[in-house]
Amino acid sequence: MKTDVAIIGAGPAGLLLGHLLRAEGVACVVVERQTGDYVLSRIRAGVLERTTVSLMERLGLDARLKSEGLPHGGFNLADGERLIRIDVEALTGQTVTVYGQTELTRDLMDACDERGLEVIYDAGEVALHDIAGDAPYVTFVRDGGEQRIDARIIVGCDGFHGPSRQAVPASVGQVFERVYPFGWLGILADVPPCNHELIYANHERGFSLASMRSATRSRYYIDVPLTEKIEDWSDDRIWDELAVRLGPEAAAQITRGPAIEKSIAPLRSFVFEPMRYGSLLLCGDSAHIVPPTGAKGLNLAASDVHYAAEALVAFFRHGDADAVAGYSARALARVWKSERFSWSLTKLMHRFPDDGPFERRMQVAELDYIANSEAAQRSIAENYVGLPV
Ligand code: RFL
Ligand code: PHB
């Protein structure tokens, strides 16, 4: 098979890029290791920035997002006693949209047939070849036989564990990384949320987050040591812990119910540079990871895709090779700002094992400063809604 762009990975980054390229008449094929049902079973992000919503609008795939997504004009930080509301809409004129990654991915998947976007699911042993030159190709195994896609460009949208980043020679790539000494235990339940907006709380017992997917489906998180086992956390134990950590005001409004999903995700900050090598571009989690504090991961994947689509359309439609060459620097400038925001909010809202009374006082002072300073709130708000692309 021959195409212009071979996209590896059919998560949100790969499907968004595929649709954007198809809409501009650039030939592409997406190759995914898992089945479509498996991709949709992963419960992940819940908050979309304006830029992510705009991409869905531009594709004309925003009908369900518009009708079912919840616009949020603010969110709360909690310090164990009070809620500090960040009025994002008043401070920036913008809102974010609460809409699950699963739903966004489903909308992109459902449109593939109609838009002529070819996605090959269930592809085993996906490998990249000759990425340093102008004629790269991808091989994979399907139905027992090896298949090959010849392309001009390969885009790695295959997440943190995929093969694309690994294909860049070690002498070229540089890794910047911080692994955090805790994970987020998440619970999804069909109960009304305890607040109409999100609450990120820093309590003496640790971090918690009250989030949602809809008016009837809640998503909550608490941080736990990485040594914890999910089997040791009964639903009741999680609800009890949330009620303490979120503080009395939120606790009074919590509706408990059985978990429909429960898992522990490790936290990491990670950036791989460069995001282009030869004929390979990297987008989304394949090139970088943020801790989920601040809800930046999916949105960063979407802004990478925005830059990559622009560069590839300029290249295939107008022969502009500089656009592809400039992709990495353009994407990384925004990546590092989201990394900084996610890292600083993680530091502010979590207890680190080595923290003593001094670090605790610093957190209390910073939260009090934020509570009383419009300048501090504005800075948080403009990062939360998403910096411009
Ligand atoms: P994905 O979603 O991991 O998709 C990669 C796809 O590549 C496939 N793949 C392969 N395909 C072919 N060959 C191979 N060898 C392959 N290896 C892998 C995979 O099967 C998969 O289908 O990466 P992508 O598209 O870059 O999207 C990134 C986002 O998924 C991620 O950043 C977010 O989910 C992060 N995240 C959040 N981001 C937000 O913007 N807002 C949030 O509120 C938010 N909350 C979260 C999160 C991530 C979490 N976890 C579990 C890590 C909450 C959590 C708990
Ligand atoms: C979620 O709803 O899953 C969610 C919301 C905000 C975050 C992280 C995750 O910062």
Q: Is 305 in the pocket of ligand 1 (CB under 6 A)?
A: no
Domain coordinates in residue numbering, the chain = 5-70+91-176+268-345, 180-265+351-385
Altogether, the residues listed in the chain come to a count of: 389
Q: Is 99 a catalytic residue?
A: no
Q: Is 346 in the pocket of ligand 2 (CB under 6 A)?
A: no
Task: Judge whether residue 203 has pLDDT over 90.
Answer: yes
Q: Is 296 a catalytic residue?
A: yes
Write down the pLDDT at residue 45: 83
Q: Is 277 a catalytic residue?
A: no
State the average pLDDT over residues 155-162: 98
5-70+91-176+268-345 and 180-265+351-385: same fold? no
Q: Is 38 a catalytic residue?
A: no
Supply the residue whose CA is at minimum distance from atom 2 of ligand 2: 46
Q: Is 72 a catalytic residue?
A: yes
State the distance from the centre of ligand 1 to the C-alpha of 206, rounded, in angstroms: 26
Task: Judge whether residue 81 has pLDDT over 90.
Answer: no
Condensed to tens digits (0 to 9), the pLDDT of residues 209-253 reads 999 999 999 999 999 999 999 999 999 999 999 999 999 999 999
Instruction: Pick the catalytic residue from 99, 137, 180, 200.
Output: 200
Q: Pick from 15, 125, 158, 261 the residue to mutate for probing ligand 1's pocket: most ligand atoms within 8 Å of its CB.
A: 158
Supply the residue whose CA is at minimum distance from atom 5 of ligand 2: 46
Q: Is 295 in the pocket of ligand 2 (CB under 6 A)?
A: yes
Task: Judge whether residue 164 has pLDDT over 90.
Answer: yes
Instruction: Pick the catalytic residue from 19, 203, 288, 296.
Output: 296
The domain made up of 180-265+351-385 has a fold known as D-Amino Acid Oxidase; Chain A, domain 2 (3.30.9)
State the distance from the centre of ligand 1 to the C-alpha of 296, rounded, in angstroms: 12
Q: Pick from 208, 209, 260 the residue to mutate for probing ligand 2's pocket: most ligand atoms within 8 Å of its CB.
A: 209
Write down the pLDDT at residue 124: 98
Condensed to tens digits (0 to 9), the pLDDT of residues 331-379 reads 999 999 999 999 999 999 999 999 999 999 999 999 999 999 999 999 9
Task: Classify domain 5-70+91-176+268-345 by CATH number.
Answer: 3.50.50.60
Among 42-46, 99-103, 171-175, 235-239, name the one with the lowest average pLDDT: 42-46
Condensed to tens digits (0 to 9), the pLDDT of residues 32-73 reads 999 999 999 887 888 999 999 999 999 999 999 999 999 999
Percent of the chain scored above 90 by pLDDT? 97
State the average pLDDT over residues 179-196: 97
Write down the pLDDT at residue 80: 80
Task: Judge whether residue 167 has pLDDT over 90.
Answer: yes
Q: Is 294 in the pocket of ligand 2 (CB under 6 A)?
A: yes
Q: Is 181 in the pocket of ligand 1 (CB under 6 A)?
A: no
State the distance from the centre of ligand 1 to the C-alpha of 13, rounded, in angstroms: 8
Percent of the chain scored above 70 by pLDDT? 100
Distance CA(336)–CA(345), nearest Å, equals 14
pLDDT band at 205 (very low <50, low <70, confident <90, very high): very high
Can you give the three-state secondary structure of the chain, one letter per residue?
A: CECCEEEECCCHHHHHHHHHHHHCCCCEEEECCCCHHHHHCCCCCCEECHHHHHHHHHCCCCHHHHHHCEEECCEEEECCCCEEEECHHHHHCCCEEECCHHHHHHHHHHCHHHHCCEEECCCEEEEEECCCCCCCEEEEEECCEEEEEECCEEEECCCCCCHHHHCCCCCCCEEEEEEEEEEEEEEEECCCCCCCCCEEEEECCEEEEEEEEECCEEEEEEEEECCCCHHHCCHHHHHHHHHHHCCHHHHCCCCCCCEEEEEEEEEEEEEEECCEECCEEECHHHCEECCCCCCCHHHHHHHHHHHHHHHHHHHHHHCCHHHHHCHHHHHHHHHHHHHHHHHHHHHHHCCCCCCCHHHHHHHHHHHHHHHHCHHHHHHHHHHHHCCCC
Q: Is 10 in the pocket of ligand 1 (CB under 6 A)?
A: yes
Q: Pick from 43, 44, 47, 208 the residue to mutate for probing ligand 2's pocket: most ligand atoms within 8 Å of its CB.
A: 47
State the distance from the centre of ligand 2 to the C-alpha of 292, rounded, in angstroms: 7
Condensed to tens digits (0 to 9), the pLDDT of residues 20-33 reads 999 999 999 999 99
State the average pLDDT over residues 198-210: 96
Q: Is 9 in the pocket of ligand 1 (CB under 6 A)?
A: yes
State the distance from the centre of ligand 2 to the C-alpha of 68, rounded, in angstroms: 17
Dihedral angle computed from the Cα positions of residues 174, 179, 185 and 189, in that order, rounded to the nearest 10 degrees: -30
Write down the pLDDT at residue 166: 98
CA atoms within 13 A on the CB side of 282: 30
